[in-house]
Chains A and B, each alone.
Chain A
Amino acid sequence: MVILETTHLTRTVDEKTLVNDISIQVERGETLSIVGPSGAGKSSFLRLLNRLDEPTSGTVLLDGADYKTLPSGELRRRVGMVLQSPYLFPGTVAENLRFGPRQHGKTLPEDRLRHLLRQVGLESYAERDIARLSGGEAQRVSLARTLANSPEVLLLDEPTSALDRTAEAEVESLLGEIIAAEGLTCLIITHNPEQAVRLSRRSMLLEAGKLVKIGPVEEVVHA
């Protein structure tokens, strides 16, 4: 079943078309990787999906409904995003995890908090100040913070590219486990073809804002 669909999605800024007429469909529970050279418009495309940027034309359908009919806060709870850098809020790890649910008038239950921390391998970190986290730990907190909102779709913009080798492998394998365990629908930008193969079955290739190819990951990344 299609959960997310883009129809002729386009964004033009100052006469430059960053995202050019992209129409794709994403199945519920599927992971789709997004690849392409630097400056191809991968981040620009992803930012349109939770409406952090406004499409110039075209739109996104979430569960069949035009996302412009949803309040932005609600849309972004359902379509979560993890960025290249974690950008945690000052305070403790637990406070960061509680932030999302609080925005929607909910309190993150304690057992859910512990479950999330266990999922990202940081059981004992709840009261740790975020200033005392390593890069890999911070990125895992950022992932848990997004998951705390129970999103239906997870957008990941090069979530491991700012990390060193060891941390990258660690975060990637955690990510794979969580996606499988939760049956999440996921769109992940990566510049690493091996990562695309490990995490996704299907992939799309962008170049200069255009969708060049979409299909089985092996065919797209090893073309």
Chain B
Amino acid sequence: MLNEFFKDQLWLGVFQAVVTVVLALVVTLVGRWWKIHLEKEVVIALVRGIVQIVIVALVLVALLKGPELVAIPVLLGMIITASFVSGRRVKGVAGSIWVSFYGIGFGAGLVILLMVLAGVIDPALTSVIPVGSMLIANSMNTCAQALERFASDVKAHTGQVEAGLALGAAPAEIVTPYSQLAVHSSLIPRIDQLSSLGIVWIPGLMSGMLVAGTDPVYAAIYQFSVITMMFASSGLTSVVAVLLVQRRVFSPAQQLLLRPGAPTAPSKKDRAA
């Protein structure tokens, strides 16, 4: 119906973006009224989001005409970016970006590779890039969530952790309950995604396939497979990231480095260590 007012599709897009941005800003202001200060973060995220997605759309159109191997640098670029996004979320853990990189790279990377080899994901760029990006994005969220949960649980239990250290316990042993909880809680959204599939949530991929005239049952089953892969890649990511981060919150002499009020940004020196 809006199409009648906007002859040019581009102006329709601009109009839609402006309306949604206003909506997001209103929500942010509501948060501010409740003393939740997200303004700066939200504005930066909005600007980054629109610029990135438009550039990527243009680049993708160009890339999709290229050879299939183009998928490798594209997906790797996505994994690296996702590592920064996830790693930055976690304050006070040196090298959290590396931890995220290994976690997302292993989780999403392995699942994409195996599924392409198994013939589940079509290696055509038009398929492997969008599906791969979904897996990477889900791994990224899971990774950030697992790391954040682990770090905040350890910070909230410094007394207990140090009591364990003071009794001569090995760091990994002491933080096992927090690691298990972090992995578990980070996967709950993925499980909910599976169980709500089709009822609360009809994903865009399936909608697209239906519009394109794919057999509806196949579109549904394929969508299910993609969500199942998301769970697998997120699960691997979460386990790897938590196993790696466990060791980074302690020094080699088994001292707890992560304390409330610990430095927020990992320094270059720490990351190299």
Interface string of B229-265 (1 = CB under 8 A from A): 0000000000000000000000101111000000000
Asked if B164 is at the interface (CB within 8 A of a chain A CB), the reply is yes
Q: Does A100 contact B (CB under 8 A)?
A: yes
The contact string, 1 if C-beta is below 8 Å from chain B, for chain A 66-104, is 001000111111001101011111000000000110011
Q: Is A219 an interface residue (CB 8 A)?
A: no
Interface residues of A in 12-68 (CB under 8 A from B): 50-54, 68
A68 to chain B: which residues have CB within 8 Å? 253
Nearest CB of B to A58, in Å: 15
- Please report the total number of B residues contacting A with Cβ < 8 Å: 17
Contact A87 B159 (CB under 8 A): yes
In angstroms, how far is the closest chain A Cβ from the Cβ of B231?
Answer: 30
A52-B162, A83-B159, A87-B163 known; A100+B168 contact, CB < 8 A: yes
Question: B160 contacts A87, CB within 8 Å?
Answer: yes
Please determine whether A54 and B251 come into contact, CB atoms closer than 8 angstroms. Answer: yes
Complex Cα distance, B254 from A51, in Å, reads 9
Q: CB < 8 Å: which of A51, A74, A142 contacts B253?
A: A51
Complex Cα distance, B164 from A83, in Å, reads 12
**Closest beta carbon of chain B to A103's beta carbon, Å:** 4
A99 touches B167 (CB 8 A): yes
CB–CB B159/A85 < 8 A: yes
Contact of A73 with B169 at beta-carbon distance under 8 Å, contacts A89-B160, A89-B164 already known: yes
Whether B168 contacts A73 by the Cβ 8 Å rule is yes
- A146, B166: Cα distance in complex, Å: 9
Given A77-B168, A103-B167, 19 extra CB contacts under 8 A:
A51-B253, A52-B162, A52-B165, A72-B255, A73-B169, A76-B166, A77-B167, A83-B166, A85-B159, A86-B163, A87-B160, A87-B162, A87-B163, A89-B160, A99-B169, A100-B167, A103-B170, A142-B163, A146-B166
